[in-house]
Structure 1
């Protein structure tokens, strides 16, 4: 757990030029939210679901970032600013993802199955991007600020708009 915390702190320093030190990165709400999520997720997967939800709601109160304890998060996620981020129960996030404030990984069904997005590795999710349903965002993709993604995004593709569509680079 401490190695992951160290990794999360250094990910913040690497991704944010405003973070000048470890002490400063420790003040980031995204780092706090990930620390609480790792604890809540461990409890959730061991069947302590109510305790996990209490921890996740406490983290939401402190940080403004809501991560369901059931969500699966890879390594080195960087949540910049973070306020208003929502990550649903069946969401899966790969490694080295950068996510800005207001991002929603939401569901489109109340059916208890896979209903939230799967985000690949090395993905950038711009501010206030909304991704809905059991869609997949491929490795290296980018979602522009304010984009609403309702279907799969191919690896290496940049999408923008409402609804989000690929752009030529």
Structure 2
């Protein structure tokens, strides 16, 4: 996939994730981890491994990649606090993202793109930072969903 097509796919994926966040939906035990799992597998299989097999990496890009994923977890933890969680009259626990959730998603993706450019610059691999967005989304969304589930369990 060329760079332009990869960018379009990434924009669509990020858009779908953000759109899903703004819908009122039940808090699920397992379902909230399926999308992060799929994104994580895609990030590793389609992205990171495809770059690593063709380029040897030094320690710095690997460290930056780990930092990027830690930043994703941090954003996920902050976003989890912006998601409304409540019990409806039938006793179903519901969730819905807010404008702050959307803003934090956009900021998070922007931060990743900046880190991705830095990773690509020091790696000389050209796309490691870009393709790691799937793993970044998986870590951030997984962290957010686990913390929202924790809040829901407390209701």
Alignment TM-score, normalising by the size of structure 1: 0.27
**Computing the radius of gyration over CA atoms, which structure comes out larger, 1 or 2?**
2
Higher strand share: 1
Report the TM-score, using the length of structure 2 for normalisation: 0.29
Task: Choose between structure 1 and 2: higher helix proportion.
Answer: 2
Higher relative contact order (CA 8 A, sep 6+): 2
